[in-house]
């Protein structure tokens, strides 16, 4: 991969641009989880949509690694209040299932 400004030593400045956890604005964390849910539950030309329940299971599975846990909990709670086919918020799946 070509990195502007040179070789492997130039990766450092780019890494400083990345944010993690609470450094990411809350609005961005909310949009990220909601967009992922929408993408998973919408038919695509190359893939059928997941069920709401399966999409929420995936969000829960990835909560704490890929998605903010509090945001996922709030999204699941909100959707459970509006739909009868979505289980209420439950603890994350087994520890062996982490998102990369």
Domain that holds residue 29: 21-82
Greater confidence, 10 or 33? 33
pLDDT at 28 over 90: yes
| Cα gap 59→61, rounded to integer Å | 5
Question: Beta partners for 54?
Answer: none
Q: What is the CA radius of gyration of the chain?
A: 17
Q: To the nearest whole percent, how much of the chain has pLDDT over 70?
A: 65
Q: Classify residue 91: in a domain, yes or no.
A: no
Q: Classify residue 40: in a domain, yes or no.
A: yes
What would the mean pLDDT of 27-42 be, rounded to a whole number?
96
pTM: 0.66
Q: What is the pLDDT of residues 46-91, one digit of tens each?
A: 999 999 999 999 999 999 999 999 999 999 999 888 876 555 555 4
Query: How many folded domains does the chain comprise?
Result: 1
Check residue 14 and give its pLDDT. Answer: 54
Q: Classify residue 44: in a domain, yes or no.
A: yes
| Residues 67 and 32 sit within 8 Å (Cβ to Cβ) | yes
């Amino acid at each position: 991969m070509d990195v502007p400004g040179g070789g492997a030593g130039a990766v450092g400045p780019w890494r400083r641009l990345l944010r993690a956890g609470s450094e990411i604005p809350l609005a961005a964390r909310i949009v990220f989880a909601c967009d992922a849910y929408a993408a998973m539950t919408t038919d695509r030309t190359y893939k059928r949509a997941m069920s709401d329940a399966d999409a929420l299971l995936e969000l829960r599975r990835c909560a704490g690694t890929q998605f903010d846990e509090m945001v996922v909990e709030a999204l699941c709670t909100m959707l459970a209040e509006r739909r009868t086919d979505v289980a209420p918020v439950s603890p994350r799946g087994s520890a062996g299932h982490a998102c990369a």
